[in-house]
Chains A and B, each alone.
Chain A
C-alpha cells in the first residue's frame, strides 16, 4: 500500500515512528549485546556516574544501569505488547460478533463492556494482581482484560456502521455466509482505525505496566522493569540522579514516540478526522 510514503510527509510522526522502531530493535537484539548482565553486582562500583565503562552509571547495588534499561525494554515490549495484541484480538472478535449479530446478545455484551469501563483501569489492575499474583502471564492477561473493552467498543461502533453499507447487502444477495461477510467484507475496512486505536492502547499499556512496576505490583525484583527501577531509584535521587533519569527518559521517549506515531497514523489512515 502507498501508506508508508505518505507517513513520511508528516515529519513529526515519522520521527516518532523511527524512535519506536529503534526501541523495538533495542528490545529484540539489545539484551544480546549489552556489556553486563542485568543482575551483575559489582559492589565496589556502586553509585558511579555515567562513564565510558558504564554509559548510564551504576545503581545502589553496582549494577550497570545501561544494561538494565536495555533489557528492561524487552520486558516492557513483551508485557505491554502482548497484552495489547491480546486485547486487540479478543476485543476485535467481541466487537465484531456483537455488532454483527446485534439483538439481545449485543445488548448484554455492551452492558458488560460498559461495566468494565466503569472501573478505573489502574484500580482494577491493582485489585486483580493483588489477588492472582504478579507473574508475567498474569500481567499480560490483566493488561489484555483492561483494554479489551475500549477496543471492543471502537470495533463495535465501526461494524455497526459498516454493516449497513451497500456492499454488505450485495454480499448477502449473493449468498455469502455470515463469517465471510464479517471477516472478509466488513473487517478489512475496520483495520486502519484499529491500527490507530491499537497504537494508542499500546502507549497506555506501557504506562500501565510501568505504573504497576512502580507500585510494586508488576514483575518482581530483580527484574529490570523500568517502573520498578524508578521506584528503587527514588531514594538515591540526590546522590545518583542517573539511576532515575535514564529509565524515566526511556519510558517517556517511548510513550511520546508511540503517541506521535499514532497521531500520524490517524491522519494518514483515517482522513476526515480533524484535530491533526
Chain B
C-alpha cells in the first residue's frame, strides 16, 4: 500500500468525521427519547408512585414523606428534567430498599457483568465465526447439516433450561465446578473465574448459535457473488480466495451482530444471572423491580440503555469504517 503513496486519493477524513458526528447526534436523540420512555414507564404509569412503592397498607403519613423525599409533588416536566440532569451528572440517588448509594451499587454490578461478558465473548465469537465459515464452505455436507441443526437447536434452548442442566450435571453431579456464582463484591477476575465458567458457557451457547448462523449466511452469500467467481476464474489458490476475498466481505454483517451482542451481554443476561445467582447488573434490576425501588430501577435501566445504544453505535461505526463504499466516497 505504501507503494502508492499511502491512502487512496479520495480518502477524505471529513467523510468519517462527518459520519461520526451524525451518528452521535442520532444516538443522543435516541437516548433522550429513551429516557422519556423510562421515566414514563417508571414514574408516570403507576399513577400514584408512592402507593405503588409502599403498598396498600401504607399510612397517609408514610406516603406523604415518600412523596416529599422523591419530589413527586412537583410538575412532571420538572421531575423529568431534574431526573435526567441528575443522571447525566452522575447523581443517581439513594436506593429505597438498601439505603445505599445507587451509583456505587450499580457500577459495582456493572463490573461483574463486564467480567461475565468478557468470558463469554472470548469464547463464542471466534468459535462462532469459525463454525459458520466452515459450514458455508462445506455447504450441503454432513458437517454443515450438523452445525446448522445444532445452532438452530441452541437458539431454541432457553438460558434457564441450559443453565439449570449445566448446574445439575457439572456442579451437583460431577462436582467439578461451583453451583452458585455468587462472588464476593470485591472479587478480582482470577478469583471469580471458576464461578464464571458455567454461566459463561450458558450465555455463550446462545451467542454461539447466532454468530454461527450469521457468519454462515454471510459467507454463503459472498460465495455466490460475481466477484468470487472472478477470483476463482483468475486461478487463485482457494486459500487466497477464502481468506483474502471472501472473508472480508462475508464477515462484515457478522461484525455488526457481534458488536450489538456486546450490548446484549451487558444488559440482557437477567435470566442467566438469576439462574446462577450471579451478582450482575441484570439481577440488580430484577431485584429493584420486585422491590419497587424507583431510583435503582431508573438508574440501572438508563445505564443499560446507554450501553446498548453505545454498542449499536460502535457496530455502525465499525461497519462504516470497514466498508470501503462508505468510507471512501
The answer to whether A binds B is yes
Partner-B contacts on A (CB < 8 A): 12, 111-112, 114-116, 118-120, 122-124, 126-132, 203, 207, 210-211, 214-217, 227, 230-231, 234, 237-238, 241, 244, 248, 251-253, 255-256, 259-260, 263, 274-275
Q: Is the interface of A mostly helix, strand, loop or mixed?
A: helix
Chain B residues whose CB sits within 8 angstroms of the CB of A128 once the complex forms: 41, 45
Determine the distance from Cα of A193 to Cα of B265 in the docked complex, in whole angstroms.
29
Decide yes or no: A122 and B156 within 8 Å by CB, A130-B292, A252-B161, A275-B220 being known contacts. Answer: no
Decide yes or no: A131 and B152 within 8 Å by CB, A118-B305, A120-B263, A120-B304 being known contacts. Answer: no
Q: Are B172 and A238 in contact (CB under 8 A)?
A: yes
Decide yes or no: A116 and B37 within 8 Å by CB, A123-B270, A126-B270 being known contacts. Answer: yes
- 8 intermolecular pairs with C-beta atoms under 8 Å apart: A111-B29, A111-B33, A120-B267, A120-B268, A126-B285, A130-B290, A214-B274, A255-B157
Minimum CB–CB distance for B278 against chain A, Å? 14
Please tell me if B155 contacts chain A, counting CB pairs below 8 Å. yes
Q: Are A252 and B158 in contact (CB under 8 A)?
A: yes
Q: Are A275 and B217 in contact (CB under 8 A)?
A: yes
Size bracket of the B interface: 35 or more
Determine the distance from Cα of A89 to Cα of B134 in the docked complex, in whole angstroms.
39
Q: Are B158 and A251 in contact (CB under 8 A)?
A: yes
Determine the distance from Cα of A230 to Cα of B220 in the docked complex, in whole angstroms.
38
Q: Residue B156 contacts which of A116, A231, A256 (CB distance < 8 angstroms)?
A: A256
Q: Are B45 and A132 in contact (CB under 8 A)?
A: yes
Q: Are B289 and A126 in contact (CB under 8 A)?
A: yes
Chain B residues whose CB sits within 8 angstroms of the CB of A112 once the complex forms: 33
8 A Cβ contacts from B21-61 to A: 26, 29-31, 33-34, 37-38, 41-42, 45-46, 52
Whose C-beta in chain B lies nearest to the C-beta of A258?
Answer: B156
Please tell me if B301 contacts chain A, counting CB pairs below 8 Å. yes
Chain A residues whose CB sits within 8 angstroms of the CB of B275 once the complex forms: 234
8 A Cβ contacts from B263-307 to A: 263-264, 267-268, 270-271, 274-275, 285-286, 289-290, 292, 297, 301, 304-305
Decide yes or no: A211 and B158 within 8 Å by CB, A12-B149, A275-B221 being known contacts. Answer: yes
Partner-A contacts on B (CB < 8 A): 26, 29-31, 33-34, 37-38, 41-42, 45-46, 52, 149, 152-153, 155-161, 164-165, 168, 172, 213, 216-217, 220-221, 224, 263-264, 267-268, 270-271, 274-275, 285-286, 289-290, 292, 297, 301, 304-305, 308-309, 312
Determine the distance from Cα of A71 to Cα of B92 in the docked complex, in whole angstroms.
44
Chain A residues whose CB sits within 8 angstroms of the CB of B149 once the complex forms: 12
Determine the distance from Cα of A241 to Cα of B297 in the docked complex, in whole angstroms.
35
Determine the distance from Cα of A142 to Cα of B242 in the docked complex, in whole angstroms.
45
Whose C-beta in chain B lies nearest to the C-beta of A253?
Answer: B156
Decide yes or no: A111 and B30 within 8 Å by CB, A127-B38, A227-B160, A274-B217 being known contacts. Answer: yes
Q: Are B270 and A256 in contact (CB under 8 A)?
A: no
Decide yes or no: A203 and B164 within 8 Å by CB, A120-B304, A215-B270 being known contacts. Answer: no
Q: Are A263 and B160 in contact (CB under 8 A)?
A: no
Chain B residues whose CB sits within 8 angstroms of the CB of A120 once the complex forms: 263-264, 267-268, 304-305, 308
Q: Are A131 and B164 in contact (CB under 8 A)?
A: no
Whose C-beta in chain A lies nearest to the C-beta of B31?
Answer: A118
Decide yes or no: A130 and B152 within 8 Å by CB, A120-B268, A217-B289, A238-B172 being known contacts. Answer: no
Q: Are B33 and A115 in contact (CB under 8 A)?
A: yes
Minimum CB–CB distance for A123 against chain B, Å? 6
Q: Are A241 and B285 in contact (CB under 8 A)?
A: no
Q: Are B268 and A203 in contact (CB under 8 A)?
A: no
Q: Are B155 and A259 in contact (CB under 8 A)?
A: yes
Decide yes or no: A122 and B292 within 8 Å by CB, A251-B158, A252-B158 being known contacts. Answer: no
Determine the distance from Cα of A72 to Cα of B285 in the docked complex, in whole angstroms.
27
